[in-house]
Structure 1
Amino acid sequence: MEQPPEGHGAQEQPAAGEGPPGCYRHPDRRTGIRCTRCERPICPECMVNASVGFQCPDCVRQGAGTGHAPAAARPRTLAGGTIAADPRLLTKILLAINVAVFVAVLAVGDHGRIVSDLDLIGLAYNPELGQVVGVADGEWYRLLTAVFLHQEVWHIAFNMLGLWWLGGPLEAALGRVRFLALYLVSGLAGSALTYLIAPPNGPSLGASGAIFGLLGATAVVVRRLHYDMRPVIVLLVLNLLFSFRSGIAWQAHVGGLVAGTLIAIGMMHAPREHRALVQYGTTALVLAAAIVIVVVRTASLT
């Protein structure tokens, strides 16, 4: 039997009631997953796909150098994506885009047309333009631009805090391509449900749909890693209660939450031998469902 690498002795099991141990590189992150080679606890950011289970970055480097672990020579995230040097790069870029659009809205002010040109509206007459506008009038881009649009300071503050707290760990666990697909499709699904249910002449901002998608995906990842679900459930319930009681566009929240949860299930539970097919197939099905909703709603309005 192969011995663990030098200095990689198995960690002692925690005493009863202590809960899962902390990651050997990030002690504050509790985890129930251990490296299959040295048995040290590893968090999602440190997990590297091996031929069997997951290995820690140290074992991957040693295995690649000795030729003992060729299957682990290409580091992979928990969902099979490529491990990047900066696991929060896309999260930072998305945050920057949201903030840049918000600053532009503030700079233009009430007399500008950024919000009215980019918000989500089904079909309405714009007296300033003297014409009908909206998704049903062919302005499909509103389904996506609304995902990056905020008008109040409290709105963007809550969403960007959520993006930073949820986005970083998810990007590390999924990889950049999968994370970006999750974010965008969740946002589009939120816009699609808003377009279907909300009054067609009522403009709305769908930025929170993508954030709720990240929240749903976080619940799936936490469940997959056997972490304590209670904090995520409490956060989810509080956000849903706020959505339904505050008079904001709850449709985008529900649509994004459902889409993000379904996509994350496909990504986290895909069988290894057909991982890419199941992951991107699930994402494509959710996107297709959103497109069908948009097409059906458009047909009913025109």
Structure 2
Amino acid sequence: MSTDPTPATGPDTPVPSCYRHPGRETYVRCTRCDRYICPDCMRDAAVGHQCVECVSEGQKGVRQPRTALGARASGTQAPVVTYTLIGLCVLAYLGEVASDGVVRDFMMLGLGAFQGGTLGGVAEGEWYRLVTSMFLHQPPSNGSFGITHILFNMWALWAIGPSLEQVLGRWRFLALYVLSGLGGSVLLYLVDPFDSAVGASGAIFGLFAAFFVIGRKMGGQVGPIVFLLVLNLVITFAVPSISWEGHIGGLATGALLALAYAYAPKSRRQLVHVGASAAVLVLLVALVLVKTADLTSGVA
């Protein structure tokens, strides 16, 4: 802290005042810029006090802490992406309650009109169904199963989403969720384009896979997620009405992305993360294009 040891008090010598608050008398100076600062402008430093501007300037050169996977570390940051995804699914479900046409118009459907039906599908150019279906769930008309469907998926997203979003960062977490859901839709399209499906389960399975891969990489406890994953796989193949393609497609896509996110070399981590996300998207789009060409060949 720098002060004037014997401040002048003569009639011709003005009393020093804070550079930010001219009306406040002070004899304390910033240890960096030597300007006078009042108590409201003082910030504790290693030696003495600094002004607000010097502290702000000094922080610009400080490297922001990062998580093990390259995201900005912030223990108090709200999981905005997780809560937004939950909100979108709930809003979509309310839309299903209000109108029966929501599921019909936005569910995953590979083929519609080409097979003599009245609905369009992905093969007819309605590519949005590959994405919109992951925000829909079994409608209320399906009874208790409809409610159970969305309740379980939203519980799973709420339970593991925040921790994954914190370690991955917002854009990686969003990419993981959307690409996993897309992977489930694409596998259904490849295996059974005549079938239809709705649900965030493909994206949720992708999160399960990522939680396991990242947990193993970071030395965390993965027993609970393994139990949850095995239980859901058993249910997937035991219940005839469940689209196993959506679950397995999401699981495989999530695992692939998580491996790239977790094991990318630190020196090229950002490049690998962006490249892996883009490569998975390109692969999924290419598979859809090839399947669509095959389904529509010879159709006038």
The alignment status of 1:74 with 2:64, answered yes or no, reads yes
The alignment status of 1:107 with 2:98, answered yes or no, reads yes
Instruction: Show the counterpart of 2:272.
Output: 278
5+ unaligned residues in a row in structure 2: which ranges? 1-45, 47-54, 139-145
What are the residue-to-residue correspondences of 1:206-225 with 2, within 5 Å?
206-225=199-218
What are the residue-to-residue correspondences of 1:7-22 with 2, within 5 Å?
none
SS at match of 1:244: helix
- For residues 237 and 181 of structure 2, what CA distance do their matches in structure 1 show? 18
Q: TM-score, normalised by structure 2?
A: 0.72
The residue type equivalent to 2:87 in the other structure is A
- For residues 263 and 167 of structure 2, what CA distance do their matches in structure 1 show? 13
SS at match of 1:133: coil
Q: How many residues align?
A: 233
Shift of 1:82: 2.5
Shift of 1:206: 4.1
Q: Please say if residues 184 and 247 of structure 2, whose CA atoms lie closer than 8 Å, have aligned partners that are also in contact.
A: yes
Q: Please say if residues 190 and 206 of structure 1, whose CA atoms lie closer than 8 Å, have aligned partners that are also in contact.
A: no
The residue type equivalent to 1:114 in the other structure is V
Instruction: Show the counterpart of 1:94.
Output: 85
- For residues 61 and 251 of structure 2, what CA distance do their matches in structure 1 show? 35
Q: Please say if residues 80 and 174 of structure 1, whose CA atoms lie closer than 8 Å, have aligned partners that are also in contact.
A: yes
Instruction: Show the counterpart of 2:162.
Output: 168
SS at match of 1:155: helix
Shift of 1:301: 1.1
After superposition, the CA RMSD in angstroms is 2.5
Q: Please say if residues 126 and 132 of structure 1, whose CA atoms lie closer than 8 Å, have aligned partners that are also in contact.
A: no
Q: Please say if residues 212 and 260 of structure 1, whose CA atoms lie closer than 8 Å, have aligned partners that are also in contact.
A: yes
Q: TM-score, normalised by structure 1?
A: 0.72
Q: Deviations over 1:221-274 (max 9, x none)?
A: 110111233222221111111111112011011111111111111111111110
The residue type equivalent to 1:107 in the other structure is A
Q: Please say if residues 113 and 124 of structure 2, whose CA atoms lie closer than 8 Å, have aligned partners that are also in contact.
A: no
Task: From the superposition, tell whether residues 115 and 132 of structure 1 become closer, same or farther in structure 2 (CA, over 3 Å).
Answer: closer
The alignment status of 1:139 with 2:129, answered yes or no, reads no
Q: Please say if residues 120 and 206 of structure 1, whose CA atoms lie closer than 8 Å, have aligned partners that are also in contact.
A: no
Shift of 1:285: 1.8
The alignment status of 1:124 with 2:112, answered yes or no, reads yes
Rg (Cα) greater in structure: 2
Shift of 1:125: 3.3
What are the residue-to-residue correspondences of 1:1-302 with 2, within 5 Å?
73-84=63-74, 85-108=76-99, 112-125=100-113, 131-151=118-138, 152-198=146-192, 200-247=193-240, 248-302=242-296
- For residues 255 and 191 of structure 1, what CA distance do their matches in structure 2 show? 7
The residue type equivalent to 2:121 in the other structure is G
5+ unaligned residues in a row in structure 1: which ranges? 1-61
Task: From the superposition, tell whether residues 241 and 147 of structure 1 become closer, same or farther in structure 2 (CA, over 3 Å).
Answer: same
Q: Please say if residues 182 and 214 of structure 1, whose CA atoms lie closer than 8 Å, have aligned partners that are also in contact.
A: yes
The residue type equivalent to 1:77 in the other structure is T
Shift of 1:81: 1.8
- For residues 66 and 252 of structure 2, what CA distance do their matches in structure 1 show? 27
- For residues 78 and 219 of structure 2, what CA distance do their matches in structure 1 show? 22
The residue type equivalent to 1:121 in the other structure is L
Instruction: Show the counterpart of 1:26.
Output: none
Q: Please say if residues 118 and 146 of structure 1, whose CA atoms lie closer than 8 Å, have aligned partners that are also in contact.
A: yes
Q: Please say if residues 147 and 207 of structure 1, whose CA atoms lie closer than 8 Å, have aligned partners that are also in contact.
A: yes
Shift of 1:71: 8.5
Shift of 1:83: 3.6
